[in-house]
Structure 1
Amino acid sequence: MKPADAKPPHMDHDTFRSLGHQAIDWIADYWQRLAERPVAPPVEPGSIRAQLPTAPPECGEDFPVLLSDLERIVLPGLLHWQHPRFFGYFPANASGPAVLAELLSAGLGIQGMNWNTSPACTEIEQQMLDWFVHLLGLPEHLRGGGVIQDTASSALLVALLTALHQASAGRTRDHGTGECGYRVYLTAETHSAARKAAVITGLGLRAMCEVATDADGAMDAVDLERHLRADRAAGLTPLMVVATRGTTSHLSFDPLEDIGPVCRRHGVWLHVDAAYAGVAAVCDELRWVNDGVRYADSYCTNPHKWLLTNFDCDLLWVAHPEVLVSALSVLPEYLRNSASESGRVTDYRHWQVPLGRRFRALKLWSVLHWYGAEGLRAHIRTGVRHAQLFADLVGADDRFTLVTPPALGLVTFRQTGTDEENRNLLQAINTEGTTFLTHSEKNGTFFLRFAAGGTLTEDHHVREAWRAVQNAIPRAQHLAGGSADALAE
């Protein structure tokens, strides 16, 4: 028999309400004090796991114990992506409205795989995607063809599966790809998700055809045409061109106005990946990021990068959704229902790889409710301004050079000197802890990346980041001299 004061098996409503307030307070306090923390954790591999018990608890513990463990174990072991001086990779925005909506979605606990399993989940998502056609200035024919994926990687995979289905007249549904000789065209700057999608679909890396780029890293449409003609002459089947509007390394923009007509002439699916840059088109002066999208068979962008909507939330549009549905539709008896059979509803399970799906549209709607279009534009413009501020600081120091002109929220730069000196500089910056940057290479030359756009970032954080770069120079020189301990002092 349980003791009289034993906890009930489930958290009651009053307890949930009380502890929920504590959790929200904890998040608010975390954000408020985040600038005081080091951005990157000074931890060794395995050190976090070593602090956890070797066996799970036999009896339940109170929720405040978890909050205590968060403070003691988890926070010291995090790279703080919401830190106002986190300038690595690309932004991974979180915001109050998005987080609250994520909580509401979790509390609702619905499963939105079919229209009938939660009609509002589907119809709100449809409306959000149509709203964004307007907000981003996308071609009107994409209305009704939008769906939320988790990431741009999944969007690319779905697009590739759809292109395979179309090119094979449906044969790949029953027989797979086999020794089919399909080809996928990309550049050295294309995101690695394209190669991974080829592996997942069974095409394999052998299907990849790398197209030449110009001096800025943008796809060469003339070289693309050459490859397409040569592959057809060799009996291969051109399947998809993956074009990028804003590559990860240094924001190259593949010229869709040149690539699109080539794809049309050859009947090749054109997928446009604008994961980072696409959302910038909420600003009229930045609509150029989506120039040429009218040629796209599929297009995606990520509000979870730079549009105040926490991870994960990718927006994918396809020009012909009926082909996507035909490619991915599998209908067991237990999912049959009258609404689906009426043909009047959208069942989004046919638009993605997994069956189940979360109510991601709720957080997108919450962000739009709170900020409105003007608030989103202001956030993008602040990121662009912060990048220009940092670029101006780099340009005023003759010890540094800009690798490429600042583009949107990204600045690429390096210290005058060798690649090794720049590697040491990056390590010194990140080890010091007040600022976090990442790196890439262009034409074999190592450089540092400063990606603005954080939700909490203000002008003074940008200037502090530049001071951290300057102050890291002598520490990097110590590292070059073999004094690794100097970086930890």
Structure 2
Amino acid sequence: MTPEEFRRHGHRVIDWIADYQERVASLPVLSQVAPGDVLGALPARPPERGEGFDAVLDDLDRVVLPGITHWQHPSFFAYFPANASGPAILGDLLSAGLGVQGMLWATSPACTELETRVIDWLADLLGLPDAFHGNGVIEDSASSAVLVALLAALHRAAPDAVRDGLTGRHTVYASSQTHSSLEKAARIAGVGAANVRVVDVDPDTLALDPDHLDRTIAADVAAGATPVLVCATVGTTSTTAVDPVPAIGAVCRERGVWLHVDAAYAGVAAVCPEFRWVNDGLDLADSYSTNPHKWLLTNFDCTALWVRDRAPLVGALSILPEYLRNQATLSGGVVDYRDWQIPLGRRFRALKLWSVIRWYGAEGLREHIRAGVRLAALFARLAGADDGFEVRGHHPFGLVCFRPRDVDALTLMERLNASGDLYLTHTRVAGEVWLRLAVGAPATGEPHVRAAWARIAAERDALSGAAAAG
């Protein structure tokens, strides 16, 4: 493809994306295709000769778009938001156009130094402790962040373990509400899922119990185990429960255990002064992560990870074969972010976060967070005023958990999702099914939340009426 051909087709792609953003609200939120429909519409063999980009764009509309669940739809209330704003998309396009492989400072100094600066900008915007400044990196996801934190913690607790393999029993600690990525990290790191110790939670708030944590660690030490890491969560995936990080941090400091704080969803709320309380206890944390790609207008993948001390992280992950040696690296005067992650290669992710922060500014980012919180509070009021529904009391962010009192919650959710009018997900708390409505898409406004509530209430009434008639 020549530069002129790229220019011509590139204009069409940008127009297609802009048109998609304008019309996404008219599409069914959840894809309506059946399993195998997309696969069946694609040729079984690749073309022998090039077909040109017009054919690609034609099939984008004909084959791909019907199989898309529209995460940017204003009535997408499932999971957590996955923002894709204009400046983030353009920043990602610039990254793709430059084609940088930023594994070392020397392979593109701007890739490394822009990331260093923008991750410090984010730390400043969120009001993070001074110890994290200069010690941040962009990972692909919070799953990778907890894995590298665990490897760093292992390196600190047993310096030879990461290189030579684990000997003896090593333990990590989490609650039943902690994201499954911690267990996966334990499997990958060789700790083993059986050594992920599940700590009790408060039955009302679902927050991790620091007293039970302390007793569990003490029992493990007495049994000959080496405690390695505790994962506290600020804004759990299930219900946005908030663990008591200051109390957990005190236990970790007393016991000499690494504290990782996972604030994948809720951490970015700290861009607003009124939500700075989500940072409570971070002065005791060894590592901290949050995802701009969830609620801060930056498209996937972009997870911010900070460490208090980079030495255990680099010590666990640095390998320097001859083909990566260069004077800048050997001099120790630069950061090579390949030592801060699992893969060797890395994209120029900082460009999209840089673009977002510069476009919106702190003011615009705060308004986006506040809008999501306002709309979630509106939905909670609407649902709470209806005797046919129950709303969980804790909803400080953009997520509301609710359930119908007299009809099956899963049946209600399945009917709503199948309609294409909105998309919800669910969770279980103490064996009970709760529906989750998460607000955060940039296009979502009050009319969409009110329409969602009206649709939910109408569907519940229809199910209730059918049950009464039966």
- TM-score band by shorter chain is over 0.9
Query: Is the partner of 1:405 in helix, strand or coil?
Result: coil
Is 1:287 the counterpart of 2:280 in the alignment?
no
> What percent of counterpart residues are identical?
56
Alpha-carbon distance in 1 for matches of 2:466, 2:285: 48
Is 1:83 the counterpart of 2:70 in the alignment?
no
User: Are the aligned partners of 1:278 and 1:301 in contact in 2 as well (CA < 8 Å)?
Assistant: yes
Structure 1 position 73, deviation (Å): 1.0
Alpha-carbon distance in 1 for matches of 2:370, 2:382: 19
Alpha-carbon distance in 2 for matches of 1:478, 1:248: 33
TM-score by length of 1: 0.94
Structure 1 position 407, deviation (Å): 2.1
Q: Read off the aligned partner of 1:289 and give its amino acid letter.
A: V
Alpha-carbon distance in 2 for matches of 1:241, 1:102: 34
- Matches for 1:121-200 after TM superposition, within 5 Å: 121-169=111-159, 171-178=160-167, 180-200=168-188
TM-score by length of 2: 0.98
Q: Read off the aligned partner of 2:333 and give its amino acid letter.
A: R
Is 1:53 the counterpart of 2:40 in the alignment?
no
Change (3 A) 1:324 1:38: same
Counterpart residue number, 1:13: 3
User: Are the aligned partners of 2:241 and 2:394 in contact in 1 as well (CA < 8 Å)?
Assistant: no
Structure 1 position 108, deviation (Å): 0.1
Query: Is the partner of 1:448 in helix, strand or coil?
Result: strand
Alpha-carbon distance in 1 for matches of 2:394, 2:253: 32
Query: Is the partner of 2:88 in helix, strand or coil?
Result: helix
Cα deviations across residues 22-81 of structure 1 (Å, max 9, x unaligned)?
A: 000000000100000000012211111011111111111121211111111111111110
Q: Read off the aligned partner of 1:269 and give its amino acid letter.
A: W
Structure 1 position 144, deviation (Å): 1.0
Query: Is the partner of 2:69 in helix, strand or coil?
Result: coil
Is 1:379 the counterpart of 2:368 in the alignment?
yes
Structure 1 position 310, deviation (Å): 0.2
User: Are the aligned partners of 1:414 and 1:447 in contact in 2 as well (CA < 8 Å)?
Assistant: yes
Alpha-carbon distance in 1 for matches of 2:103, 2:364: 32
Query: Is the partner of 2:14 in helix, strand or coil?
Result: helix
Structure 1 position 479, deviation (Å): 8.8
| Structure 2 residue ranges without an equivalent (≥5) | none
Of 22, 27, 52 in structure 1, the residue corresponding to residue 12 of structure 2 is 22
User: Are the aligned partners of 1:38 and 1:433 in contact in 2 as well (CA < 8 Å)?
Assistant: yes
Alpha-carbon distance in 2 for matches of 1:476, 1:308: 37
Query: Is the partner of 1:115 in helix, strand or coil?
Result: coil
Query: Is the partner of 2:316 in helix, strand or coil?
Result: helix
CA RMSD, Structure 1 to Structure 2 (Å): 1.5
- Matches for 1:419-438 after TM superposition, within 5 Å: 421-438=408-425
Of 168, 191, 216 in structure 1, the residue corresponding to residue 205 of structure 2 is 216
Query: Is the partner of 2:393 in helix, strand or coil?
Result: strand
User: Are the aligned partners of 1:302 and 1:314 in contact in 2 as well (CA < 8 Å)?
Assistant: yes
Query: Is the partner of 1:385 in helix, strand or coil?
Result: helix
Q: Read off the aligned partner of 1:185 and give its amino acid letter.
A: Y
Cα deviations across residues 285-329 of structure 1 (Å, max 9, x unaligned)?
A: 011111111111000000000000000000000111011111100
Alpha-carbon distance in 2 for matches of 1:67, 1:376: 33
User: Are the aligned partners of 1:279 and 1:306 in contact in 2 as well (CA < 8 Å)?
Assistant: yes
Structure 1 position 417, deviation (Å): 2.5
Alpha-carbon distance in 1 for matches of 2:57, 2:189: 42
User: Are the aligned partners of 1:390 and 1:466 in contact in 2 as well (CA < 8 Å)?
Assistant: yes
Structure 1 position 129, deviation (Å): 1.2
User: Are the aligned partners of 1:160 and 1:197 in contact in 2 as well (CA < 8 Å)?
Assistant: yes
Is 1:112 the counterpart of 2:99 in the alignment?
no
Cα deviations across residues 408-467 of structure 1 (Å, max 9, x unaligned)?
A: 10111001125xx11110011101111111100111110100100111111111111111
Number of matched residues? Answer: 469
Q: Read off the aligned partner of 2:178 and give its amino acid letter.
A: T
User: Are the aligned partners of 2:406 and 2:464 in contact in 1 as well (CA < 8 Å)?
Assistant: no
Alpha-carbon distance in 2 for matches of 1:173, 1:290: 30
Structure 1 position 404, deviation (Å): 2.8
User: Are the aligned partners of 1:162 and 1:324 in contact in 2 as well (CA < 8 Å)?
Assistant: yes
Counterpart residue number, 1:3: none
Of 444, 447, 462 in structure 2, the residue corresponding to residue 457 of structure 1 is 444
The 10-residue stretch of structure 1 (184-193 or 469-478) with the greater mean CA deviation from structure 2: 469-478
Cα deviations across residues 210-239 of structure 1 (Å, max 9, x unaligned)?
A: 100112110100000100111111111111
| Structure 1 residue ranges without an equivalent (≥5) | 1-10, 484-489
- Matches for 1:300-339 after TM superposition, within 5 Å: 300-339=289-328
